[in-house]
Amino acid sequence: MAFSVCGFLTRTRLSALLALSLAAGAVQAQYPGQTKEKTAVAVRAPIQAYSFNLQDVRVLSSPFKDNMDREGRWLLSLPAERLLHSFRVNAGLLTDKKASPTKMPKPLGGWEALDMELRGHSMGHILSGLAFQFASTGNEAFKLKSDSLIAGLAQVQKALNEGGYLSAYPQNYIDRNIAGTSVWAPWYTLHKIFAGLTDAYWYTGNPQALEVEKGMASWAYQKLSPLTQEQLAKMLRNEFGGMNDAFYNLYSITGDPQHRKLAEMFYHKAVLEPLEQGQDKLNTMHANTVIPKLVGEARAYELTGDLKAQKATTFFWDDVVKHHTYAHGGNSDKEHFFEPDKISEHLTGNTGETCNTYNMLKLTRHLFTWNPEAKYADYYEQALYNHILGQQDPKTGMVSYFSPMLPGAYRLYSTPTESFWCCVGSGFESHSKYGEAIYYHGAKDLYVNLFIPSELNWQERGVKVVQNTKYPEEETTRLTIQTKKPVDMPLHLRYPAWATHGVTLKVNGKTVAVKQQPGSYITVSRNWKNGDQVELTYPMALRVIATPDNPRKAAFAYGPIILAGEMGTEGMSGTAPYHDPADPYQYYGYDYHVPADLVHTLATKGGTVTDWLKPVPGHPLTFTTTAATGAGGITMVPYYKAHRERYVVYWDLQ
């Protein structure tokens, strides 16, 4: 997206606060993915599996919890005065010539600088991140900060006095977009603000967030309703994020037909019609411009029953996952889709824009609720463990934009206040909502999709489930049922497609025969009693993941985990912090100066993967190569741990 965008509460205290939020009119809904909570608009699509709200799931000690805590500290460290600065400048609220310059807040840098046309986009992501952190942890500091930012935005909206318009840039950016003249992506930025306000309303119960958002929608309706179809088509050529998704979500809360009409105005015929017809015309399209449109279409199907929207989204997901996805679950090269299956031709330093995966996971959650197939949970695991988890530098908490597949490249990280790329924004969300897809439920049944240490509180059924595991560093996960009285609850346990060496299932210590195959669900139906335990063991094995267009270029995985060869730090100019304030786009096309003699070839000589890679005793998920050409043994570690050094994911096989 460089040139085209892309103090803890007790559970009782938190529950009381959420109840007050509901009484104030807030809808505690899990976004994305349908929940059973009532909204103003009845869902018309058949929902087979429901999301749990984030406050019902607590992520326990794990790399995910570590990431979430680091992200939370970053969110709380950003001063509200600096976050609001560009909005206040735009509204003329910081023009007092008598004010001391030393008392003026310093503007944020990078993509939030006052001369950047995308300024303001991070505010929306931050509101969402704060809302997710509050729901996920119960830490009231996140709600207090969110409330403060929303109050500041309301003040800006009032000062602008432009029919509800709210942004960090002048309204003429929208006029330029409508006219088809050059401007970065103003609707993209507004989408983030709309979405952030919705999340703040849903998860923190702030009614002011909804009022501000409804004011923005009123302005948008007055702005767009006079436009012809031709004018709208011209406007939609520029990236607009998921404006359709934002307006459908607002419509679900308010039931206001104007909000549905606004969502329909962002139907991009040129992109969506081929997908409705089952055609892949994605080559050269800017990936993170396209994916959010499908998330919006998924919401359209849920709220309107439009079968064309269903077809477009399901075809798109299957097509992207099967034909446009790297081993780590990400997609795109230089932010764009390329010809289907041409993975080996696109192993560059600009692969795997993280925003794309963030949005693909949103779409995946929608599709799973319609049709709870294991393939959706398998992809979610692939992308979450390998791409999203690995985005964050565990030393600094900063995040990467791309996940380079170029042999010998390395991750480049953001800075606390001077970058704010799109992937920084989506990272505020991704690392704050790890509890969203571990569990789903039907009327009586429970799905366990991810093996992440966590505690589920299913209040409707009076059941708690505690999951303990060190997965993926161990092959076993353990579920303990807590209930005051026996409960009939069919338990669907994901049997991952990669688990081709079978499974061992024990209930209360007794082995249970499993007839299902990998890529499905194991169902255990019984009346569960307090203290009942389930133990699942999926033996992990090495796998070769060849590129579809060249079997001699391949990545390696151990169970669900993609491995990366550690290649040292020779010639690196520094991995963190990374940013040149004079050139905020420098990341795009960055030269990694890969040493000419860097090894990325394995002399396999027709053997099997266990001949080439040997486990390192005492070090889980760690292997050593035995067949590297021109080098001794190379250590292979999980890709999500390959930080601050060069690495190789895709190897040439001889």
Domain boundaries, the chain: 10-39+78-229, 440-537, 542-653
Helices and strands, counts by H and E, the chain: 19, 23
By the 8 A CB rule, do 380 and 361 touch? yes
Residue 19, pLDDT > 60, answer: no
| Two structure tokens written together for 452 | 């992440």
User: Which residues make beta-bridge pairs with 192?
Assistant: none
Q: Express each pLDDT in 59-112 by its tens digit.
A: 999 999 999 999 999 999 999 999 999 999 999 998 655 555 556 788 899 899
* Nearest in space to 429 (alpha carbons), one of 14, 82, 111, 135: 135
5 pLDDT higher than 70: no
Measured over the CA atoms of residue 115, residue 121, residue 126 and residue 129, the dihedral's sign is negative
Identify which of 494, 485, 434, 483 has the alpha carbon closest to the alpha carbon of residue 457: 483
pLDDT the model gives residue 9? 32
Cβ–Cβ under 8 Å, residues 108 and 126: no
What is the Cα 234 distance to its own chain's centre? 29
Identify residue 562 by its one-letter amino acid code: I
- For residue 397, report the phi and psi dihedrals to the nearest 5 degrees: 80, 0
The CA-atom distances, in angstroms, between 188 and each of 140, 275, 360, 384, 438 are 29, 22, 17, 24, 29
Dist. CA 233–CA 348, nearest whole Å: 33
What is the number of other CB atoms lying within 10 angstroms of the CB of residue 560?
22
pLDDT of 55 > 50? The answer is: yes
CA distances from 629 to 162, 224, 266, 336, 651 (A): 66, 61, 53, 33, 11
> Does residue 32 register a pLDDT over 50?
no
Query: Which three-class secondary structure string do you get for 236-270?
Result: CCCCCCCHHHHHHHHHHHHCCHHHHHHHHHCCCHH
Give Cα 552 to chain centroid, integer Å.
Answer: 31
Q: Residues 402-449: pLDDT tens digits?
A: 999 999 999 999 999 988 999 999 999 999 999 999 999 999 999 999
User: Is the CB of residue 429 less than 8 Å from the CB of residue 133?
Assistant: no
**Helix H or strand E encompassing 557:** strand 550-558
State the DSSP H helix or E strand holding residue 108, giving kind and residue range, or none if neither: none
For residues 44 and 157, what is the distance between their CA atoms, to the nearest angstrom? 35
What pLDDT is attached to residue 589?
67
Q: Looking at the whole model, is its pTM more than 0.85?
A: yes
Q: Which fold has domain 440-537?
A: Immunoglobulin-like (2.60.40)
Query: Which one-letter amino acid corresponds to residue 610?
Result: T
At residue 102, the pLDDT reads: 54
Angle at 335 between CA 331 and CA 339, to 5 degrees: 60
pLDDT of residue 303: 96
Residue 50, pLDDT > 60, answer: yes
